Chain A
Amino acid sequence: MEMAHPLRGEVVKLYKNLLYLGREYPKGADYFREKLKKAFMKNRDVKDPEKIKELIERGEFVIKELEALYFLKKYRAMKQRYYEDDKDR
């Protein structure tokens, strides 16, 4: 049997963290999970550690983007509900 790839743990961790974030995705957790799985499966055959690291970095970038998206969505909702008269919306 083939040995597990040394970066396997990191990839699984990234997947779990993204899956957790996906629970709040505006289009729904199911939609997100499907997309997420597809994105990971597309790269299942990548073996080069450098390339895998690059992909992990991209995943971490997506995490930051999602966090920013959720923050902005909530901030805008609060602003619209509680600060209606503000001109700098």
Chain B
Amino acid sequence: MVVALLEVKDLTVRFGDDEAVRGVSFSLDSGVRTGLIGESGCGKSLTALAILGLAPTTATVTGSVRFEGEELIGRPERELCRLRGNRLTVVFQEPMSALNPLMKVGRQIAEVLEVHDKAGRGEARRRAIDLIEMVRLPDPSRTAHKYPHQLSGGQRQRIVLAMALAGDPALLIADEPTTALDVTVQADILLLLDDLVRDLDTSLLLISHDLSLVASLCEELLVMYGGTIVERGRVSEVFARPLHPYTAGLHSASSLEHSDGTDDLRTIEGSVPPIGQFPGGCVFRNRCEYADEVCLGVPPLRVPPGEPHEVACHHPVSHD
């Protein structure tokens, strides 16, 4: 039996009585790039943090997260630390806060290798320079001696990427890795990410609010809303035939390039409610134009007849 690289089952994150992530289940296979999309407040970042064992201390995390066959939930922090930054790594939105401002960037990369006993001091320094070259920064040995503030935002994010890839991870979680960057810099970073993930045979979980980013980089797609996964399938299929009204709304709201600005963009009414104020039953029913009394019941995530992918909706959008 093939074991999935990452298997998440019934992952729930609670703050007091409020569920921010409600029983999320999915699995990621080796070498596959998966996009996790949703608007702010849908629980996508919290899901990532819970997987990494980095959820805020005020949160209660239950369910199961199995990474390479090992259960992570309930593991002592010390063991999680050995895993994080090694086989399982993460890149966040803001590169400046991910780097120590008082330490040269080469040293910071080398430290990752030393902490995980990948290399001794001298060896680590050489490998750090190799890694800087791998993320295509100019003049690696000189760049290694720079401090974070001496680099541009895009260059800093490359350093963060080098640190994340130093341990030869099986899974890289990238949470809005390019949101703080300019468009042309973002394009360069995505290009780099695309090449590296392929070359290193790393699985990617890309978390983003931007559907077009996921369309550009990923194969599989998870759509989150209200702390649940509302649709799952191949990126090309989901975007060609979005079945959940939420996905469909996000999709048309994102498709600026297909509109000449004379008609209104089709979008979703209202806005994402605060955590704990989503409706019972289907979490989307208060913003959904198809909602009726059936939607008072929670819809299961399943493949509707004649469709290629899963959706959690009582009234999937028809594309006929």
A interacts with B: no
Contact surface of B with A, Cβ cutoff 8 Å: none
